[in-house]
Structure 1
Amino acid sequence: MTEAPDFMTEPPNFAAPLTGPEGTDVLSDILRRFRVTGAALLRGEYSAPWGWDAPSADEIAAHLHTPDTRLVIFHIVAHGRCWLEVAGQPRIELSAGDLVGFPQGHSHRMGWGSGAAPFPIIDMFPTPPWKSVPTIRRVERGQVCRILCVYLRCEAPLFDPLTSALPNLIVMRAGGGASGFTDAIVRGLIEEASAMRAGSASFTARLTELLFVQIIRDHLRRSDPNGRGMLAALKDRFVGKALQAFHAEPAYPWTMPELSCRAGLSQSALRERFARVLGVSPMRYLALWRLQLAALLLRQNDASVADIAAEVGYDAPEAFARAFKRAIGTTPARWRNRVPVIE
């Protein structure tokens, strides 16, 4: 089996146990299941005029020999200025301290000046595994720009209500967050990637996970409460209460009358509100979330399929197996055997 880059270190699980519906932090619960397993960093130094094309996250993952994982890509401008182009959006200019993220893994182009033919950045990647943070240098006499590329490695979730609701492009300007915390993380990543002191690989892995969480939190703060997707759902007074109930007790045999009472809204109104904000009914959301939990449990331990079915709220293993295969396309046993067990 081909090795993944060495400069990918598994971070710890920071999530605290959940206690009850009223105190459940739904965002933390989803992030806890969205396992971040490591990060690969790449430094680049370019003098104007320059430009490069980056392929999709899936292509980069295959090049880094991690094809069964999902990459979330961020670029941090460490020095100088550059522009960014993403299909379907106007070109934007970036300066030192700015960060751009691509939650959906879209291809993109970066550069500065005119007249330079963009080169495929993936052709400049060192052969993995990367023992440290590699550097691409294409420097002559023009204005220099330094960029830190962050490739956050995650397990690809079967049901992803959070990042699927994020836009194709997220831009965070230096000093533009609600606090200085994001800027501090960005500065820390730039410094560690440059210095590569003892323990830097482990430290940067944790910083990238914190950065991912902070970007989502900042986007949640700025998102439209009347919009669509998980970020809007978390701000919705009624849908949010239903989500709290589901995430606190996913195995509980929830019914629409009980959920309606918990949310403080009629059944029909709650169904309509759920469908408008999340695109699915309350019971469909619960079913998908249970299957996501089951898929993780199948990879994390050797409990029987029947025990896992019961743990996520299924009375009959047969019903669980049918639902799992219908949603995922394979049986629980085959799903477990096709991937390595996570320690």
Structure 2
Amino acid sequence: MDVVSDAISTVRVGEPSSNRLRVSGSWCVRLSPYEGAGFHVVLSGACRLFPDGGGDPVDLGPGDVVLLPHGAGHVLADRTATEAQARRAVPFETVRDTDVRRPGPGPDVELLCGKYRLDRSRTHPLLAELPQVVHLPHRVGDHPELRTAVDLLARELDERRPGGCLALPSLLDLLLIYMIRAWMARAETGAWPAVLGDPVTTAALRALHSDPAAPWTTDRLAAEAGVSRATLARRFTTLVGRPPMAYLTWWRLTLAAARLRATDAPLATVARETGYGSPYALSHAFNRAFGITPGRYREASGIRTS
């Protein structure tokens, strides 16, 4: 596994959902804050996004993609809408899966609007530092894999071919990965694009994420990265914000929480998979980090064991 894949897989819950929205003329819809991540793909036409909190409106054109990684509330409206009109937006749910036709100038607009369900109780810092709105404009040659995913999504929606019920959520998952990759490639701020651009830190992270249960030490990890212990500790701590072994402890407990939340595996199995020598050792570390025992955490997640 790699950091981006792990960061997504540990917080993702269930399958993404999506709706197609066709609008024309004068229109304005509000999307409430959501415990997950939202996205919009402009399949045709142009529109405007007003983020909650008074941020500048974002103009969206054909082929543009926008990700709201923290589920922030926002308004979608026609390209000529003002902030005053945005404050009078109608709830998105009232127009879901319907055509909104209101008299007025301007071309038709077609969007793919969707949500990813995420559990934010243990969000990886890579995802936590994403901005409230990630706008990825359509430009010829920019992020071709993202453009291909958008084109494939449009075709699946247009043609309703056999297997579409499986193809659509898979393409939506792929879209999330490509959106995050595209942000990392063009980000001017944030620690994690720099982290994953550093070969030493990347090698260490790849080793930890590939086998988190291994008996890692700083010396062993430094050998894996091909540098001295002091060099690894300095570069890793500076870029990631915590020493290698502290990151490993945090990541092991994050994985344990994900296993407890998603499976009914015995605690001994979870402990073994996450590098703890016994269920007691895992319980002690888990309770110290989460303020709750693994059993109670699992019960709160709705998982029952026999």
Which amino acid in structure 2 is aligned with residue 119 of structure 1? Answer: A
Give the one of 92, 100, 108 matched to 1:137: 100
**Native 8 Å contact 2:153 2:168 kept in 1:** yes
Gaps of 5+ in 2: none
- Matching of residue 222 in structure 1 with residue 189 in structure 2: no
- Matching of residue 331 in structure 1 with residue 288 in structure 2: no
Residue 167 of structure 1: aligned partner: 131
Shift of 1:56: 1.3
Residue 39 of structure 1: aligned partner: 16
Counterparts of 1:121 and 1:103, CA distance in 2: 20
268 and 88 in structure 1: CA distance in 2 versus 1, 3 angstrom threshold: farther
198 and 137 in structure 1: CA distance in 2 versus 1, 3 angstrom threshold: farther
279 and 177 in structure 1: CA distance in 2 versus 1, 3 angstrom threshold: farther
- 1:34-113 correspondence to structure 2 within 5 Å: 34-35=11-12, 37-58=14-35, 71-86=36-51, 87=53, 89-111=55-77, 112-113=79-80
Residue 65 of structure 1: aligned partner: none
Give the one of 170, 181, 184 matched to 1:206: 170
Shift of 1:32: 4.3
Residue 309 of structure 1: aligned partner: 271
**Native 8 Å contact 1:45 1:139 kept in 2:** no
Which amino acid in structure 2 is aligned with residue 99 of structure 1? Answer: V
Shift of 1:208: 0.4
Which of 299-308 and 72-81 deviates more? Answer: 299-308
Counterparts of 2:13 and 2:21, CA distance in 1: 24
Gaps of 5+ in 1: 1-17, 19-24, 59-70, 127-133
**Native 8 Å contact 2:12 2:116 kept in 1:** no
Q: What TM-score results when the alignment is normalised by the length of structure 2? A: 0.84
- Matching of residue 250 in structure 1 with residue 212 in structure 2: yes
SS at match of 2:196: helix
**Native 8 Å contact 2:25 2:101 kept in 1:** no
Counterparts of 1:53 and 1:303, CA distance in 2: 41
Shift of 1:250: 0.9
Shift of 1:242: 1.4
Shift of 1:246: 0.8
242 and 190 in structure 1: CA distance in 2 versus 1, 3 angstrom threshold: same
Which of 84-93 and 238-247 deviates more? Answer: 84-93
SS at match of 1:314: coil
**Native 8 Å contact 2:204 2:225 kept in 1:** yes
Shift of 1:145: 2.0
Give the one of 76, 79, 91 matched to 1:121: 91
Residue 180 of structure 1: aligned partner: 144
Residue 4 of structure 2: aligned partner: 27
Calculate the aligned-residue CA RMSD, in Å.
2.8
Which amino acid in structure 2 is aligned with residue 104 of structure 1? Answer: H
SS at match of 2:248: helix
SS at match of 2:28: strand
Q: What TM-score results when the alignment is normalised by the length of structure 1? A: 0.76
Shift of 1:340: 4.0
Counterparts of 1:219 and 1:238, CA distance in 2: 22
35 and 109 in structure 1: CA distance in 2 versus 1, 3 angstrom threshold: closer
Seq. identity, %: 32
Which amino acid in structure 1 is aligned with residue 42 of structure 2? Answer: V
More helix by share: 2
